[in-house]
Amino acid sequence: MSKLKETKGNVIVSVRVRPDANGGEITKAAEWMVDGRQGVISYNGREGGDYSYDNVFPPHEHNAKVYDAAAKRLVRRVMEGYHGTVFAYGMTGTGKTFSMQGTATSPGVIPLAITDIFSFIRETPHREFLLRVSYLEIYNEKIHDLLSASVSGGPTSQQEEIKLREDSKRGVYATPLKEEIVQSPTQLLRVIARGDHARRTGSTQFNSRSSRSHAVVQIVVESRERVPTGASQDRRSGLVPGGVRVSTLSLIDLAGSERAADDKERRTEGAHINKSLLTLGTIISKLSEARDRASNPTDKEGKHLPYRDSKLTRLLQPALSGNSLVSILCTVQLGGTAKSHSGETLNTLKFAARAKNSIVSHAKRAEEAFGSGGGDAGSRVLLERYRMEILTLRNQLESQTKAQAEKELRLEEQQLEKEAQVRHEEQMLEMQLARTALKERIEHLNRLILCSKSTGVNTQGNLSALGRLSRMSTGSRSLRSSLSQSTLGAYGHSSFRPISFLSLNSNEPSGNQPFSSGLLGHEEEEDFIGEFADGKASAQRQIAALQADLNDKNRYISTLERRLFQARRSSHSRMSIGMKTGSAAPDAPDVLALLREKDLEINELRLQLDDKDRMLAALRSAARHRDLAHSATDAFVPDTKDNHGRQEHRPDDDDSPAYDSAVGLSSPFNDESTAEKKKSMEDVSRILDEMIQDRVESGQLIKGSRGSVRVAAESRRTSESMAALPGLSMSATDLEDSG
């Protein structure tokens, strides 16, 4: 026996004995003997004998044990690339469906095979798998797709007829047939359960829910060697190291053979069932006969085998002809009392025995297919097809990604161009604004320049100072006019000219610096300034003009002082002469005349002194205007030194609010101005001192030890006499105060 198992490993024939339907022991124990360990069933009755099989399962053997012994190895080899077929054959109600499907608590061959399939996948990491499943039934010699059936149960009448076709690589296959790709045991079991639900069943004499059709579950296994890690480049290029291997596991639950039933429908079904089973039996018998002629291989047995007599045998042709591993599970029930029952059991045992002896499997591992190959067989290699599709999609994705990247790049470039254009426009706008601002500035400056020219005053920026200069110039002009009038009025000299006249200082020993051409007329000054109205040179010319004006004023002051001194001396001389004359010949009428003359002179001197005071006030005012001009000029000519490096001469200054408000500056030359003022006062005092000294020398006055003076006795007398006269009351104190 063991030798038989070894030599015929590709075909396994098992017999499973169903428990007694009544729950009791085998009633005809004497007729039947079941040896599970030896795989022998013996029948002691008529046509009795021993029937040996690969496996004999006693009545209470579990489904798991049946699967392990009858199908497990075959399933694993299918996963390795072999075709495999497991089918259950037996009389109705003997446990074919129970063995193939099992129950929830005792799963049969199909669910256990599914579990093993996925276990194998998990245990084989170096390969990748793709599983697809189909489920059909052959009912009254017609093929129905159980996965395309309506939910309500039973294939739809409009379902396209499914035909069997044959291919050199695939063998015999049904088409069109729905195939579902499954990725988990649960998903696969759910698909099969759906097909089971659609399967046709009916009540028979021996089975209240008898399968009235042959049901075929086909699981197509595609597998391929995994691409080694790091060979992603090859994957992308489509160069895979190995092809795809395709194998099929067929799990078939045959309808039960039975005697002709009373029901017409059952009789019709039975006739078809029996016919297909009969054909199957016939083929097995012929295979057995062919095997007996194995020594004469010239005969090609296949040509004479009636596979096409039934769809069942046509569908099982690849398996029966040796291209597939085969496991036949025959189910019997030994407990029946009817004589016919034992006959059916014997028929099953004989079928199994013939199958065991006749079927020779030359099953080989399926060849690995490369590419789609061409033809239907190649196109069914879904794994390869998917791989190609993935490759195509990946290429499309890459091209789209590239196109997208290029598009984004273009958009980015366009965006950058837009931004650059916006920036350019902004820069242009800024430049335009800057140009506009510059133009406005230029126009403003031009207006300023025109305005300055129109006023005849320089120049760049210090318009208020220039305005003050202009006002000062006007003021100076009016000052000269008033001076001239007052001077003329005081002296009655029509030849006396204002300070701006050049002839005034030509012969004056004033010590002032000569100024040849600086005394310009007012219009000339404006033209001069306007012509050189820019920069430091212009400012220096302003200073020079003011300096000249200042010199004029100084010279005029000196002239007035000298004239005053001369007038006093002249008066003193005349008074001295008159006194001498009076003392020598004191004639009363002469004295009176002399006194009147002196009174006139004294009055004239007083008027002259008043004029002098007014002139000094006017000169101080002129000096303030001059300082104003200096300050305005200094505002834009920091270097206030003249060309000879000397500090500009500053006139005396006072704290006149008008001056301060007019200039708006705190003069940095206040100290110098004060010194200058003191100097001028000292000059006046010096002149008066000289006058007093002259009188002292002439004996009219006596100088005290502490600087005080008194009138001499002679003079006092004269003075007293003069003082007695109306209008002659001048004293030394008066002389001091007037200085």
Ligand X SMILES: Nc1ncnc2c1ncn2[C@@H]1O[C@H](COP(=O)(O)OP(=O)(O)OP(=O)(O)O)[C@@H](O)[C@H]1O
- Contact, 361 vs 325, CB < 8 A? yes
State in angstroms the smallest separation of the CB of 99 from ligand X. 7
Both tokens of 583, joined, read: 């003392």
Which residue's CB is nearer to ligand X, number 256 or number 281?
A: 256
Which positions lie near ligand X, rule CB under 6 A?
A: 18-19, 90, 92-98, 204, 207, 210-211, 255-256, 331
Closest to 508 in 3D by CA, of 459, 453, 552: 552
Q: What is the DSSP letter of 162?
A: P
Which residue's CB is nearer to ligand X, number 179 or number 253?
A: 253
State in angstroms the smallest separation of the CB of 291 from ligand X. 29
Question: 105: annotated binding-site residue?
Answer: no
Question: 93: annotated binding-site residue?
Answer: yes
Which residue's CB is nearer to ligand X, number 39 or number 256?
A: 256
Close Cβ partners of 48 (under 8 Å, ≥ 6 residues apart)? 31, 42
Tell me if residue 445 falls in helix, strand or coil.
Answer: helix
Which residue's CB is nearer to ligand X, number 217 or number 466?
A: 217
Which residue's CB is nearer to ligand X, number 277 or number 353?
A: 277
State in angstroms the smallest separation of the CB of 97 from ligand X. 3
CA distance 546 to 475: 13
CA distance 173 to 699: 170
State in angstroms the smallest separation of the CB of 52 from ligand X. 21
Which residue's CB is nearer to ligand X, number 53 or number 98?
A: 98
CA distance 117 to 342: 38
State in angstroms the smallest separation of the CB of 79 from ligand X. 27
For 728, phi then psi, to 5°, come to: -110, 80
Question: 175: annotated binding-site residue?
Answer: no
- Contact, 529 vs 542, CB < 8 A? yes
Which residue's CB is nearer to ligand X, number 14 or number 92?
A: 92
In the numeric block, the tokens 């159980």 are attached to 146
Question: 374: annotated binding-site residue?
Answer: no
**How many Cβ atoms are within 10 Å of 81's Cβ, its own excluded?**
17
How far out from the chain centre does Cα 119 lie?
50
CA distance 144 to 162: 7
Closest to 143 in 3D by CA, of 251, 193, 216, 219: 216
State in angstroms the smallest separation of the CB of 234 from ligand X. 50
Which residue's CB is nearer to ligand X, number 144 or number 630?
A: 144
State in angstroms the smallest separation of the CB of 238 from ligand X. 48
Close Cβ partners of 655 (under 8 Å, ≥ 6 residues apart)? none
State in angstroms the smallest separation of the CB of 59 from ligand X. 7
State in angstroms the smallest separation of the CB of 331 from ligand X. 6
Cis peptide before 459 (omega within 30 of 0): yes
- Contact, 89 vs 328, CB < 8 A? yes
CA distance 90 to 333: 9
State in angstroms the smallest separation of the CB of 201 from ligand X. 7
Tell me if residue 170 falls in helix, strand or coil.
Answer: coil
Which residue's CB is nearer to ligand X, number 103 or number 414?
A: 103
Which residue's CB is nearer to ligand X, number 90 or number 578?
A: 90
In the numeric block, the tokens 């398996």 are attached to 319
Which residue's CB is nearer to ligand X, number 98 or number 659?
A: 98
State in angstroms the smallest separation of the CB of 64 from ligand X. 12
State in angstroms the smallest separation of the CB of 102 from ligand X. 9
**How many Cβ atoms are within 10 Å of 667's Cβ, its own excluded?**
18
Annotate 327-392 with DSSP letters as a single string: EEEEEEE----SHHHHHHHHHHHHHHHHHHHH------PPPEE-S--SHHHHHT-HHHHHHHHHHH
Residue type (1 letter), 94: T
Helix, strand, coil content of the chain in percent (nearest 5):
55, 15, 30
Which residue's CB is nearer to ligand X, number 329 or number 469?
A: 329
Both tokens of 237, joined, read: 């290029």
CA distance 312 to 151: 26
State in angstroms the smallest separation of the CB of 126 from ligand X. 39
Question: 96: annotated binding-site residue?
Answer: yes
Contacts 24+ apart (CB under 8 A), 509-512: 510/554, 510/555, 510/558, 510/559, 512/551, 512/554, 512/555
Which residue's CB is nearer to ligand X, number 331 or number 476?
A: 331
Q: Which three-class secondary structure string do you get for 285-343? A: HHHHHHHHCCCCCCCCHHHHCCHHHCHHHHHCHHHHHHHCEEEEEEEEECCCCCHHHHH
In the numeric block, the tokens 């034992």 are attached to 342
Residue numbers in the known binding site are 90-97
Residue numbers in the known binding site for ATP are 90-97
